[in-house]
Amino acid sequence: MSKKEKAEELKEKLFMKKENCWDIQSDEKDQIFDFAEGYKHALNIGKTERRFIAYSVEQLEKAGFQDISQFEKLNAGDKVYTTMHDKTLIAAIVGEEEPSKGFNMVGSHVDSPRLDLKPNPLMEEEELVYFKTHYYGGIKKYQWLSTALSLHGVIYLSDGKKVEINVGDDPQDPVFTITDLLPHLDKHLRSKKVSEFVNPEKMNLLIGSIPYPDTEVKDRFKLGILNLLNEQYGLTEIDFNRAEIEIVPAQMARDVGFDRSMIGAYGQDDRVCAYTSLEALINSKAGKRTIAILFADKEEIGSEGNTGAQSDIFLYQLNHLHEMILGREPKRREIEEFYMNTNLLSSDVSNVFDPNYAEVSDPLNSSYLSKGIGINKYTGAAGKSSTNDAHAEFVSYVLNIFAEHNIPYQISELGKVDWGGGGTIAKYFAKTGMNVIDSGVAMFAMHSCFEITSTFDVYNAYRAFIAFLNN
Ligand code: MN
Ligand code: MN
């Protein structure tokens, strides 16, 4: 063996490999592309947290899962789910072991950055009718101008009747938009910082321009629209006070690239992890440990509120599950052991290395497109503040599962040190004593109206969650 050959052999033995997964798993192409079809469908009908929860419940019921209220006691093999406020979900397959031995869980969030209607949204200005909006989560505001938008949500009428609004996704529907200024006349704005370029008070959604046909009455353009809404939904202006209506891109999920190797869609953060974990649970069988998935809301605004991961509502529901499996009230110690023995993959998206913005990432500690599930030992910002930093023993446990099942993974950080950062639901569940680590699909253009994932990585996340849950 020559000196060079020997060095090559040593390198092969000692160096870490980061191969492009289309090379190593090209034989799985059919499954990968089939899986993407179901995923795109779910993204298209589940563009808000409420719609995604409704979709998930439908899928779970089709697969034999039942609402927890249908059970008096839970036994090994039972498939159960529970939702809270139509925005969060826990679903589980009960295992043989007692709950104090812990569950294997995958947790993600089902809300995405968007625009919400203000509580008093309806406005007429210069013979045009608008909805006033308030953005939700970390958006780059300019991305929401001059694009087709749809409306989804609920309104409660004064008699208590719930009205669902879903307009703009069906190709036959009208859409809505926020107008941008023409480049011919935007000189006075060009020197502004991007963060100041769009005034959020001017992010008004254009919803109509035909007046009510009585030329004497004031505000007759607003009256024209409200009259239409009253005819169609029975609502009056005050009913918007009792509404939750979200504005999201009307664009549907699409394949991206000549080779269709990527998926472009709104709301993949974090429904890519929610969908893949839902499919992983549905396609799992009962085993020794209880396995579960958890969907949280409000992650994009800091996991606040009684549907966000900071809420004790998740713990109440997990304790309830514990009690239903035991058939009696668990002792305090059993509850503590349950949390300390539970393994949770906090599954959320990360950024991929983008050659167009290479300056924000450390190439050695980045996730790359189609190189497997991204693992973040920690997230946070400014010296690991505000994060769960998984201990080496748990990292090792998770990596061994992935290695054993031949699941490509990559460990990365969210950008260069001190360049920014972000958080997930991980630290809130770590507070309970659970073993938690962040993992998920890495993407381009996170929080935009058209986020990009690798078709391979989506399918690979599904395989990763199956392996983790059933370990
Ligand atoms: Mn997320
Ligand atoms: Mn996000």
Q: Contact 404/396 with Cβ under 8 angstroms?
A: no
Mean pLDDT of the region 395-414: 96
Question: What's the CA gap between 280 and 291, in Å, rounded?
Answer: 10
Q: What is the pLDDT of residue 1?
A: 84
Q: What is the pLDDT of residue 195?
A: 83
What confidence category does residue 196 fall into, taking pLDDT thresholds of 50, 70 and 90?
confident
List, for residues 425-465, the tens digit of each pLDDT value. 999 999 999 999 999 999 999 999 999 999 999 999 999 99
Four-residue CA torsion sign, 286, 438, 402, 447: positive
Question: For the chain, what is the mean pLDDT?
Answer: 96
DSSP 168-216: SSSTTS--BB-----GGG-HHHHTS-HHHHS-GGG-PEEEE-PPPS-TT
Could you tell me the distance, in angstroms and rounded to a whole number, from the CA of residue 368 to the centre of ligand 2?
A: 18
List, for residues 53-71, the tens digit of each pLDDT value. 999 999 999 999 999 999 9
Could you tell me the distance, in angstroms and rounded to a whole number, from the CA of residue 455 to the centre of ligand 1?
A: 18
**For a pLDDT cut of 70, what percent of the chain falls above it?**
100
Q: What is the pLDDT of residue 25?
A: 77
Could you tell me the distance, in angstroms and rounded to a whole number, from the CA of residue 143 to the centre of ligand 2?
A: 15
Q: What is the pLDDT of residue 61?
A: 98
- pLDDT of 19 strictly over 90: no
Instruction: Tell me how far CA of residue 252 lies from CA of 49, 260, 290, in angstroms.
Output: 17, 15, 36
Mean pLDDT of the region 302-326: 98
Give the Cβ contact number of residue 407 at 10 Å.
Answer: 21
Q: What is the pLDDT of residue 330?
A: 98
In terms of pTM, does the model score above 0.95? yes
Q: What is the pLDDT of residue 453?
A: 98
| Residues paired with 345 in a beta bridge | 106, 437
Could you tell me the distance, in angstroms and rounded to a whole number, from the CA of residue 282 to the centre of ligand 2?
A: 25
Could you tell me the distance, in angstroms and rounded to a whole number, from the CA of residue 137 to the centre of ligand 2?
A: 8
Q: What is the pLDDT of residue 256?
A: 98
Stronger pLDDT, 386 or 118, i.e. the higher one: 118
- pLDDT of 26 strictly over 80: no
